[in-house]
């Protein structure tokens, strides 16, 4: 049985403040903080250069990521954020006029804007209409065109936490020989994800939300099925086979996903991410998912019992770490909560609550009681 209190103790903002906005940005845990501080001390006093060790740290982080998503480290590249990762896909494919990309109109801009520039090449963007915050597999299939080349979708939709059925969408894409791209930022770290089981061809994510990494670091996964189709359009000195052969400018690109990494990287972010990911693998992704869903189940049940109208689909198969609900005075509520050191977020005039695994029922009750108090006194 998981000793949740041990891991809860790694978040020193508790109990002075209740943080329920992991769909926005996550707090650092003490293991990450200590790892970063140790690095800074080490670089200040001992190994100023640190470069050979930094390359090993990057390699180790990718091995840990591979364990999390069931992917070979050779198919992983580090990127600064989700948008940068999706640009690897959008810019790297050999597009032809008349090709199409299938999206939906419920996405965060990071999963749309990187494809927008393809219109100059004659590539069309098709959008599936969401249905009250849900995206239907049937609607996706109905929108597929004979020239659809890529289907890109979020693991979890940012506004209401709708969890897309990646396994079913992956099967759909394989039947139609479509590249399946996933923006994983609102699910990975809270929910389990297996890129091979779900037949994902390309995955991009930042780490500052549910993965709880320092901001400015993420990664992409590129499946063997499409690896040779992607050209590294944003290449640098580390993208080649032998980077230290400095004057061999026209040498081959690296045979693995290192070809998509351009140069000096976010070493401090890697150190913090590695410490946090080791913690998550220690807890176990299945245990984290179970705890996250227990939290959102509790929120959904309490909010429904109190008469609040959800924007989150309450069906168990579509739940994630996000619960969003309507309130006629949402902006005032969020401000009221903030004054009481309870952090949720205001999104499109709705209240979005996103607890992580270390949050417990007491935290949720503090939030709920403050919400009920607001409505009682107004």
Bridge partners for 206 per DSSP:
218
Tell me what pLDDT residue 112 has. Answer: 96
Q: Would you say 203 and 267 are in contact if contact means Cβ atoms under 8 Å apart?
A: no
Q: Which 8-state DSSP code applies to residue 147?
A: T
Question: Which residues have a Cβ under 8 Å from the Cβ of 56 and sit 6 or more positions away?
Answer: none
The rounded distance, in Å, linking the Cα atoms of 156 and 318 is 9
The rounded distance, in Å, linking the Cα atoms of 135 and 143 is 12
- The candidate with the shortest Cα–Cα distance to 357, out of 303, 269, 276, 272, is 276
Tell me what pLDDT residue 50 has. Answer: 86
Token pair 């705890």 in the structure block, residue: 291
Tell me what pLDDT residue 332 has. Answer: 97
Phi, psi (degrees; rounded to nearest 5) at 178: -110, 140
The rounded distance, in Å, linking the Cα atoms of 134 and 156 is 10
Q: Would you say 86 and 181 are in contact if contact means Cβ atoms under 8 Å apart?
A: yes
Out of 3.30.365.10, 3.40.50.2300, 3.40.50.300, 3.40.640.10, select the CATH number for domain 32-281.
3.40.640.10
What angle, 0 to 180 degrees and rounded to 10, lies between the N-to-C axes of helices 51-69 and 267-283? 30
Domain edges within the chain: 4-20+284-377, 32-281
In b/e form, how buried is each residue of 73-111, taking b as 16+ CB within 10 angstroms? bbbbbbbebbbbbbbbbbbbbebeeebbbbbbebbbebb
The pLDDT profile of the chain, 378 residues, written as one tens digit per residue, is 889 999 999 999 999 999 999 999 999 999 999 999 999 998 888 878 888 999 999 999 999 999 999 999 999 999 999 999 999 999 999 999 999 999 999 999 999 999 999 999 999 999 999 999 999 999 999 999 999 999 999 999 999 999 999 999 999 999 999 999 999 999 999 999 999 999 999 999 999 999 999 999 999 999 999 999 999 999 999 999 999 999 999 999 999 999 999 999 999 999 999 999 999 999 999 999 999 999 999 999 999 999 999 999 999 999 999 999 999 999 999 999 999 999 999 999 999 999 999 999 999 999 999 999 999 887
Query: 3-state DSSP call for residue 223?
Result: coil
Q: Would you say 211 and 277 are in contact if contact means Cβ atoms under 8 Å apart?
A: yes
Query: 3-state DSSP call for residue 203?
Result: strand
Phi, psi (degrees; rounded to nearest 5) at 324: -120, 135
Positive/negative CA dihedral, 28, 58, 88, 243: positive
Out of 3.30.930.10, 3.40.190.290, 3.40.50.720, 3.90.1150.10, select the CATH number for domain 4-20+284-377.
3.90.1150.10
The rounded distance, in Å, linking the Cα atoms of 254 and 261 is 10
Tell me what pLDDT residue 45 has. Answer: 81
């Amino acid at each position: 049985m998981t000793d949740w209190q041990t891991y809860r103790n790694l978040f020193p903002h508790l109990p002075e403040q209740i943080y329920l906005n992991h769909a926005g940005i996550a707090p650092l845990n003490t293991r990450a903080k200590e790892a970063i501080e140790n690095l800074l001390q080490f670089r200040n006093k001992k190994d100023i250069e640190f470069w050979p060790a930094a390359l090993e740290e990057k390699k180790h982080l990718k091995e840990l990521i591979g364990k999390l998503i069931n992917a070979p480290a050779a198919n992983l590249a580090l990127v600064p954020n989700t948008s940068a990762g999706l640009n690897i896909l959008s810019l790297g494919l050999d597009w032809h006029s008349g090709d199409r990309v299938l999206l939906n109109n419920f996405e965060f801009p990071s999963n749309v804007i990187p494809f927008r520039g393809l219109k100059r090449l004659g590539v069309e963007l098709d959008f599936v209409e969401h249905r009250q915050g849900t995206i239907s597999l049937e609607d996706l299939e109905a929108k597929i065109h004979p020239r659809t080349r890529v289907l890109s979708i979020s693991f979890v939709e940012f506004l209401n936490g709708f969890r897309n059925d990646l396994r079913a969408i992956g099967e759909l894409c394989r039947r139609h020989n479509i590249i399946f791209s996933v923006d994983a930022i609102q699910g990975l770290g809270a929910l389990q994800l297996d890129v091979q089981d779900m037949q994902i061809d390309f995955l991009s994510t930042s780490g500052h939300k549910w993965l709880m990494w320092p901001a400015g670091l993420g990664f992409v996964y590129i499946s063997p099925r499409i690896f040779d189709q992607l050209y590294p359009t944003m290449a640098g000195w580390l993208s080649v086979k032998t980077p230290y052969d400095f004057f061999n400018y026209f040498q081959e690109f690296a045979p693995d996903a290192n070809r998509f990494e351009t140069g000096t990287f976010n070493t401090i972010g890697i150190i913090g991410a590695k410490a946090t990911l080791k913690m998550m693998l220690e807890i176990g992704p299945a245990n984290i998912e179970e705890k996250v869903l227990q939290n959102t189940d509790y929120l959904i049940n309490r909010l429904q019992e109190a008469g609040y109208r959800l924007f989150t689909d309450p069906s168990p198969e579509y739940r994630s770490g996000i619960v969003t609900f309507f309130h006629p005075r949402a902006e005032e509520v969020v401000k009221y909560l903030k004054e009481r050191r309870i952090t949720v977020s205001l999104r499109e005039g709705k209240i979005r609550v996103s607890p992580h695994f270390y949050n417990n029922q007491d935290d949720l009750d503090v939030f709920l009681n403050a919400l009920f108090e607001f409505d009682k006194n107004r």
